[in-house]
Structure 1
């Protein structure tokens, strides 16, 4: 598990890159739960004027990967190997909150669930991500 100093350092790195592009802001980070939120805006809409499903998939992937990374700690890195995200309620505007929790954490893989709710607490999307625990990090991408 990651210690408090490592978690604080990781929080500084979160919300950059693609996460910054969609406006994802992390609000909680631990080995057992990750929370984040973002505001639905027209630049994240699909042509019908609602939140693009790819944003949900990306948020699910991001939170599960961050949670898996915190849990695995210095033992290695995680990579997503499957993302299954369901879209349950259309959203045009407002702030959405995502919460990731582990379903299974083992030696070689992890399974995380992510639930996304609107400002009224209604479930708008949910997903699962299977992560592979990579302990030989030099082999990633080879």
Structure 2
């Protein structure tokens, strides 16, 4: 992944392979201390009752926290999410939503990030916390 200070368009292209592209997530700021992104709410993101699916919030919150945590951890290894706790506060049918990840705790073995989602009127739509494990020995990932 491109590092902190990289061009947001370059990072968006790198990260939006598959699921990120389906959501339409566009990264607008990237640093080890804050990551921001935005996306447009479309009918493709609706649940059956015509509002955006809460899983989109969970996915965006996980994505921003993971990118931010990875930027901070840098070349020391990888990070993996181990808990995502997301609160849905306001239903959304259209418009652009904005997400911002900021650190709560960055330690030797774990990180905790807060991600807020606001609408175009700066009203809080969702918020979440993601706890991530710092993995220095990356060859152990996925091996039981």
Question: If the TM-score is normalised by the length of the shorter chain, which range does it land in?
Answer: over 0.9
Quick check: 1:35–1:98 contact (8 Å CA) kept in 2? yes
Q: Could you list the runs of 4 or more consecutive aligned residues of structure 1 that deviate by over 3 angstroms after TM superposition?
A: 7-10
**Unpaired stretches in structure 2, ≥5 consecutive residues:** none
Match of 2:47 in 1: 46
- Alpha-carbon distance in 2 for matches of 1:63, 1:81: 14
Match of 1:91 in 2: 92
Compared with structure 1, are the counterparts of its residues 8 and 76 closer, same or farther at alpha carbon in structure 2 (3 Å cutoff)? farther
Quick check: 2:23–2:45 contact (8 Å CA) kept in 1? yes
Paired residue secondary structure (1:69): helix
- Alpha-carbon distance in 1 for matches of 2:14, 2:73: 17
Shift of residue 3 of structure 1?
A: 5.6
CA distances 1:49-76 after superposition (whole Å, capped 9, x unpaired) = 0010000000000000000000000000
Quick check: 1:111–1:131 contact (8 Å CA) kept in 2? yes
CA RMSD, Structure 1 to Structure 2 (Å):
1.4
